[in-house]
Amino acid sequence: MTLVSPLARPLLAATFVADGVDAVLHPDAHTEKFHRIKPALDKAGVPAALTADPRMLARVSGAVSAVCGLMLATGRKPRTAAMTLAVLNIPVTVLNNPVWDAADARQRKHYVAGLLRGLSIGGGLLYAAAYRGGKPSWSWRMENAREHRAQVRAATEAVKERYKA
């Protein structure tokens, strides 16, 4: 493990823990933005079950965000937590930065900056999800073990053949 990981993971996770706890405790502040895009979600075909109760949706996504943030920060299943946060980050970033609703150029610039910031965090989360700490992937380990077993079998057969008298 490098020295960077124990420092970088909590720094990346801090915003998700804080926002998640805030969404659980104060869901109304998080649902105001949701009401603005609800017509677009309905038009896009998002199931009504997901959009029926915005307060509950805010609380559930906040709880998931806080728990996954804590998991990432403490190093417990960090790859799973980072991937979950990356998937959760996309709709939240779009919801918080509705570029299509910008009233003027200044507001559009603000939304675009927020959108890029959210996408950058998403990229960091995807990197954290793919980071294996220097260990090879599961598929590489399985293929390597298969090749090793084949080599051992071939060597065993060669020894048996040599000493067969």
Digit-coded pLDDT (tens) for 98-123: 888 778 889 999 999 999 999 999 99
pLDDT of residue 2: 66
Sequence-distant (6+) residues with CB within 8 A of 126 are: 82, 83, 86
The domain spans of the chain are: 4-134, 136-165
| DSSP assignment letter at 53 | -
> Is residue 92 within 8 Å of 114, Cβ to Cβ?
no
Q: What is this structure's pTM? A: 0.71
Residues 73 and 75: their CA atoms lie apart, in Å, by: 6
Cα–Cα distances in angstroms (integers) from residue 31 to residues 44, 50, 61, 67, 151, in the given order: 19, 13, 11, 20, 61
Cβ distance 129 to 79 under 8 Å? Answer: yes
Name the residue among 148, 124, 146, 144 with its Cα closest to residue 135. Answer: 144
Whether 1 has a pLDDT exceeding 60, the answer reads: no
Supply the DSSP symbol for 135: P
